[in-house]
Amino acid sequence: MRKQGSSLLTGTALITLLCATAWADTPSAAQSTAKAAPTDAQLIASAESAAPPNVGKHATIVAMDSAGKMRTLRKGTNNFTCMPDNPATPGPDPMCMDPTAMEWVHAYIGHASPAQGKVGFMYMLAGGTDASNTDPYASQPTATNHWVQTGPHVMIVGADPSFYDAYPKSADPDTSVPYVMWAGTPYQHLMAPVKGTAPAQAPAAH
- Model pLDDT for residues 74-84, shown as the tens digit of each residue: 999 999 999 99
Residue type, 61: I
Distance from the first to the final alpha carbon of the chain: 35
- Model pLDDT for residues 109-152, shown as the tens digit of each residue: 889 999 989 999 999 999 876 789 999 998 788 888 898 888 89
What mean pLDDT do residues 86-95 have? 80
Q: What are phi and psi of 20, to 5 degrees?
A: -60, -40
The larger pLDDT score, comparing residue 118 to residue 206, is at 118
CA distances (Å), origin 195, targets 57, 125, 152, 183: 20, 8, 7, 24
Residue type, 6: S
Lowest mean pLDDT among 49-53, 63-67, 101-105, 180-184: 63-67
CB count in 10 Å sphere of residue 99:
20
- pTM flag (> 0.85): no
